[in-house]
């Protein structure tokens, strides 16, 4: 079974189109699926394709430490939680310290600790040992962002790990196979999720053959490159 998780990136209360990790260039979503970049409208359009069980949310205001990080996207995420109480929300909101989690506790979200937010292992370990979480190993065009030790100390990884290849996000060029092979083949027993570059059903089948547990998708869904029928077959 392949677990497929749709993604929305939120900036100033709107869904934006993520491309190659160049966050300063992200623009409001213009999707064939829906006429609006309103978060609730976009989520409804994604769930009309397939009854997804999870939704990945990136709060770009919080991740980028923008001045209005505490206001604009919390309300949108709270609306999604209210509208879809059974939907499991995976949230990356730039978490680095315990106090960063406080405002989200009422929303019952799954916390993602993204490696890019940590400069050293001590900060990561301090937070990871206090809370249940999903780890995101973040790769940019200049390589891995995060404590170098984190790539090698698999004993400090949780059961679920996202391999985030930001240069491949929105590129429609396929996923980074060599990176996935390198990380997944030596770490059996962990559920890995590929993020970035997944284009179509064949890519999902290729990921499954590699032993990857799931994939995070946005562009392929909005561009109708993966159908609801294909998703139903893959996620059975």
Comparison of pLDDT for 236 and 35, the residue scoring more: 35
Q: How confident is the model over 3-61, as pLDDT tens digits?
A: 999 999 999 899 997 665 556 666 788 888 888 999 999 999 999 999 999 999 999 99
Cα 153 to Cα 7, 124, 125, 148, 199, distances in angstroms: 28, 12, 11, 9, 31
d(Cα 181, Cα 30) in Å, to the nearest integer? Answer: 33
Three-state DSSP at 215 gives strand
pLDDT band for position 130 (cuts 50, 70, 90): confident
14-17 and 3-11 strand pairing: antiparallel
> Which residues contact residue 58 at a Cβ distance below 8 angstroms, ignoring those fewer than 6 apart?
7, 8, 9, 10, 18, 92
pLDDT for res 111: 96
DSSP secondary structure, 14-78, as one string:
EEEE--TT-GGG-EE--BTTBS---HHHHHHHHHHH---SEEEEEEHHHHTT-TTTTTHHHHHHH
d(Cα 188, Cα 199) in Å, to the nearest integer? Answer: 25
Please report where in the chains the tokens 């159908």 appear, as a residue.
Answer: 227
Q: How confident is the model over 111-129, as pLDDT tens digits?
A: 999 999 999 999 999 999 8
Local structure of residue 218 (DSSP, 8 states)? S
pLDDT for res 94: 92
Q: How confident is the model over 56-90, as pLDDT tens digits?
A: 999 999 888 877 655 669 999 999 999 999 999 99
Bridge partners, residue 11, by sequence: 14
Total residue length of the chain:
236
pLDDT for res 105: 87
pLDDT for res 6: 97
Say how far residue 106 (Cα) sits from the centre of its chain.
Answer: 21
d(Cα 215, Cα 197) in Å, to the nearest integer? Answer: 10
**Number of C-beta neighbours around residue 44 at 10 A:** 16
Say how far residue 225 (Cα) sits from the centre of its chain.
Answer: 19
pLDDT at 190 over 90: yes
pLDDT for res 41: 95
27 contacts 61 by C-beta, under 8 angstroms: no
pLDDT for res 53: 96
pLDDT for res 36: 92
């Amino acid at each position: 079974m392949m677990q497929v998780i749709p993604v929305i990136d939120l900036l100033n209360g709107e869904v934006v189109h993520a491309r190659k990790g160049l966050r300063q260039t992200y623009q409001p979503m213009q999707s064939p699926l829906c006429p609006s970049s309103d978060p609730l409208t976009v989520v409804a359009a994604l769930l009309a394709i397939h009854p997804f069980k999870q939704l990945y949310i990136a709060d770009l205001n919080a991740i980028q430490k923008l001045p209005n990080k505490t206001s604009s996207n919390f309300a949108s995420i709270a609306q999604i939680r209210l509208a879809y109480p059974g939907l499991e929300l995976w949230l990356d909101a730039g978490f680095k310290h315990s106090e960063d989690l406080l405002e989200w506790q009422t929303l019952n979200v799954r916390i993602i600790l993204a490696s890019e937010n940590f400069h050293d292992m001590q900060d990561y370990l301090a937070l990871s040992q206090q809370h249940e979480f999903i780890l995101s190993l973040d790769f940019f065009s200049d390589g891995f962002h995060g404590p170098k030790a984190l790539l090698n100390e698999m004993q400090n990884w949780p059961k679920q790990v996202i391999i985030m290849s930001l240069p491949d996000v929105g590129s429609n060029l396929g996923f980074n196979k060599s990176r996935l092979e390198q990380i997944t083949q030596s770490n059996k027993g962990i559920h890995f999720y590929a993020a970035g570059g997944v284009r179509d059903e064949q890519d999902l089948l290729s990921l499954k053959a590699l032993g990857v547990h799931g994939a995070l998708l946005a562009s392929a869904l909005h561009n109708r490159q993966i159908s609801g029928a294909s998703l139903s077959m893959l996620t059975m």
